Amino acid sequence: MVFPVLRYARVLLVTAAFCFGTVLPPSEQVLRAQDTNKPAIAPQPRTINLTQEQRFIIKENVKDLKLSKARKDAPETIGDPVPLDIELHPLPPEVATKVSQARSHSFYIKEGSNAVVLVSPNDRRVADVIH
């Protein structure tokens, strides 16, 4: 009498393991397995440190400017290089006066998200992103 109960429990465990193990489609299972083998890459550090107030000042001073916007796929990750076909704009004089550490930086506004992307003048890389 004990053996049929154990057999039934074993079938349940195997079935449950099979069901829970295949919740993701096989393609996603492979991708997840591959991701665990990749080394972790730390994000690039900001090259400019702005306070929330300084970020607000920048956003408020550039939001109404009639400038061309960068395409939707323009880089928005700190440290990413900005392609040469993306037009950079100088910060308005009011911003340069109020936020001195951003004085030498250029920026673009990303289409769709309206994020203000600050670009480092030395290497044309994303220095900060203001949403």
Q: Which tens digit of pLDDT belongs to each residue from 48-80?
A: 899 999 999 999 999 889 999 999 999 999 999
43 falls within a domain: no
**Average pLDDT score over residue span 19-24:** 52
Task: Please check whether residues 61 and 101 belong to one and the same domain.
Answer: yes
- Confidence at 38, pLDDT banded by 50, 70, 90: low
Q: Is residue 40 part of a domain?
A: no
Let me know whether 102 and 57 are in one domain.
yes
* Per-residue model confidence as pLDDT tens digits over 90-115: 999 999 899 999 999 999 999 998 99
Q: Is residue 87 assigned to a domain? A: yes
Indicate whether 62 and 11 sit together in one domain: no
Q: So what's the pLDDT on residue 110?
A: 95
- The three-state secondary structure class of 30 is helix
Q: Which comes out higher in pLDDT, residue 21 or 72?
A: 72
Has residue 76 been placed in a domain? yes
Domain that holds residue 71: 52-130
Is residue 95 situated within a structural domain?
yes
| DSSP result, 76-126 | -STTPBPPTTSPPEEPPHHHHHH-GGGTT-EEEEBTTT--EEEE-TTT-BE
Query: Is 45 a domain residue?
Result: no
Give pTM, 2 decimals.
0.66
Instruction: Give me the number of domains the chain comprises.
Output: 2
